[in-house]
Amino acid sequence: MRAVLQRVTESTVSVNRQVIGHIENGLLLYLGVGSEDTAADLNYIAGKVINLRIFEDEAGKMNLSLSDVNGAIMVISQFTLFGDTRRGRRPSYTKAAAPEKADHYYQLLLSRLKAEGYKVAAGQFGAKMAVSYINDGPVTILIDSKKVF
């Protein structure tokens, strides 16, 4: 499982020009599910997202987590995180999970975050979305459950 995590002051997602999700002060998470991913990969990503200390404390140091700042999270499905560009000019997505599996893990992550008390907004799985955000910092973190990077 792969994730791009961005600290944001706000984020909005729209489908067909209709806003379906909005957050302020929190994290924007793009989630890619791989064909070999399991529940262990989901747990790894969820733990990192929830516990990474990437928000500034009163001294300006990144020492606070999402829960420390009472932040919200926007989760967007993003199969292109598994795009392999090593050969040719068109990315290969053969390592991305099939849509049914990817949606299953996407929904599990949303449920887990909500169950843990976070304000969660989400995109629409499989839809063409317009995502806007203001990256705070900017802070952008790459996470891979297989620890490829």
Express each pLDDT in 37-83 by its tens digit. 999 999 999 999 999 999 999 999 999 999 999 999 999 999 999 99
pTM value is: 0.96
pLDDT of residue 148: 86
In a domain, 145, yes or no: no
In a domain, 148, yes or no: no
Query: Tell me, what CATH number does 30's domain have?
Result: 3.50.80.10
Q: Which of 135, 104, 127, 109 is nearest to 18 (CA)?
A: 127
In a domain, 36, yes or no: yes
Active-site residue among 9, 38, 80, 140? 80
pLDDT of residue 127: 97
In a domain, 144, yes or no: no
User: Read out DSSP for 110-131?
Assistant: HHHHHHTT-EEEE--TTS-EEE
Contact (Cβ atoms closer than 8 angstroms) between residue 21 and residue 123: yes
In a domain, 59, yes or no: yes
In a domain, 32, yes or no: yes
User: What does the H/E/C string look like for 74-91?
Assistant: EEEECHHHHCECCCCCCC
Active site residue 80: yes
How many structural domains does the chain have? 1
